[in-house]
Amino acid sequence: KCEVVVCPTFVCLDAVKKAVEGTNIKLGAQNMHFEEKGAFTGEIAPRMLEAMNIDYVIIGHSERREYFNETDETCNKKVKAAFAHNLTPILCCGETLEQRENGTTNDVIKAQITADLEGLTKEQAEKVVIAYEPIWAIGTGKTATSDQAN
């Protein structure tokens, strides 16, 4: 089974939604906050995405983890909020070059996924889309082989 999911910036979601209407292309958001309500200026509430009938949301992208200090605990809260609002999480995981060279890739990824999916039901965990995002390959000109990605 293969689905095509497009995840444009938030301000483009509505326009892209109209553009893919009547196709099999699914729509996702690039980010979402986990809180239901409160003063979180600039954040996108899960209920906003649900109201727009968005299908997917990216959680745990390396840029969010690095520049916004998002942790596995934060990602776990986002995954749970996504399910509470009928969104399918696309959970990003990956290792740094140092972790790869130390041979800890599998341990790092297993720890990320385990922490990020903590407290989910088996049915929920099976619905999470795992996106392998090797941090060491981003912007370096190095690419992961298909064997490394699998």
Q: Any idea which residues carry the catalytic annotation?
A: 61, 133
For the sheet with 5-6, list strands across it: 5-6, 26-29, 56-59, 88-93, 129-132
The alpha carbon dihedral of 59, 61, 67, 69 has a sign of positive
Quick one: which of 67, 73, 55, 74 has its CA closest to 129? 55
C-alpha to C-alpha distance for 62 and 14, rounded to whole angstroms: 25
How far is Cα 37 from Cα 53, in angstroms, rounded to an integer?
19
Q: Which of 111, 75, 104 is nearest to 92 (CA)?
A: 75
